[in-house]
Amino acid sequence: MQDHWEMADVYKALMAVAAGIILGLEREMKDKVAGLKTITIICLGAALFGILSYRIGGVANPTTIAAYVVSGVGFIGAGAIFKDGFSISGLTTAGIIWLAAAVGLSIGFGEYFLALTFIAASLIIIFITPYINWISGTKKPNRQLLIVIPKAQKAYIESFINELKEGGILAEEKKIQLKESHLEVLLEITMPEGKVKWLQQHLLRNEVLISFSL
């Protein structure tokens, strides 16, 4: 195989860098684990794999190398996902990493308009979805609530869960632990964002609770 330099490859590299910057800038602004540099490099690397697939696999079978990018980038995306108790973060970043690889491959294969279309679609989803959630009120994040109550007040746990339910917050007991003369109760709660302040005030006014952590 003879190595040769083509101007089209330079254009593809520049387009991959631009696409990576566009996709990574939003993650960088939100201070996510995979930001501008990471996503740009992924997009650029995927474009290179696309070019190599054409060079090595030929027009008849250009997916020889590119097929491994699809599965390989999953390992990178998995590193951006974190689980903290019942809360999971980084799924959107992992999705953008996956999309950046797909866009890079599209550019490497010379499908410029296809890549541009999906970049535009992804930006619409990223920036429009928060407004849709705000209008519909469907965003209900899961959180952990740790409350500490006196041992003698064990029966109050059920009453406390009912109080939260009346306030529009769903709570489920996940763990209870006895420590000396008090109980530590771990709850998984699901609530709309607008209920956060209400919950904080409710916890602060509660005279039964020794302490709490939200």
- Is the separation of the CB atoms in 141 and 110 below 8 Å? no
What is the percent of the chain with per-residue pLDDT over 90, rounded to a whole number?
17
Q: With 90 as the cut, is the pLDDT of residue 186 above it?
A: no
Q: At 29, is the pLDDT very low, low, confident or very high (cuts 50, 70, 90)?
A: confident
Other C-beta atoms closer than 10 Å to the C-beta of 56 total 12
Q: Tokens for 104?
A: 């890079």
Digit-coded pLDDT (tens) for 70-129: 778 878 877 777 766 555 677 888 888 899 999 999 998 889 999 999 999 988 988 887
For residues 44-70, give the mean pLDDT: 77
Residue 85, CA distances (Å) to 45, 151, 199 in order: 34, 25, 19
Going from N- to C-terminal start, the domains of the chain cover 7-136, 142-213
Per-residue pLDDT, 183: 85
According to the per-residue pLDDT averaged within each range, which of 49-58, 112-121, 136-145, 204-213 is highest? 112-121
How far apart (Å, rounded) are the C-alpha atoms in residues 170 and 161? 8
Query: Of all residues in the chain, what percent carry a pLDDT higher than 70?
Result: 85
Q: Are 98 and 76 in contact (CB under 8 A)?
A: no
The mean predicted confidence, pLDDT, of the chain is 81
**Residue 129's beta-bridge partner residues?**
none
Q: CATH number of the domain at 142-213, out of 3.30.300.30, 3.30.70.60, 3.40.50.300, 3.40.50.720?
A: 3.30.70.60
Residue 192 has pLDDT above 80, yes or no: no
Residue 201, H or E segment: helix 196-205
In sequence order, which residues have a C-beta less than 8 Å from that of residue 211 and are 6 or more positions away? 147, 148
The DSSP H or E segment spanning 142 is: strand 142-150
Alpha carbon distance 170, 187 (integer Å): 10
pLDDT band at 35 (very low <50, low <70, confident <90, very high): confident
pLDDT tens-digit readout, 159-181: 888 888 888 888 888 788 888 78
Tokens 């990493």 belong to 97
43 pLDDT band, cuts 50/70/90, is very high
Q: Which long-range contacts (CB under 8 A, 24 or more apart) does 87-96 make?
A: 87/141, 87/142, 87/143, 87/144, 90/32, 90/33, 92/126, 93/27, 93/32, 93/33, 93/34, 96/23, 96/24, 96/26, 96/27, 96/34, 96/39, 96/122, 96/126
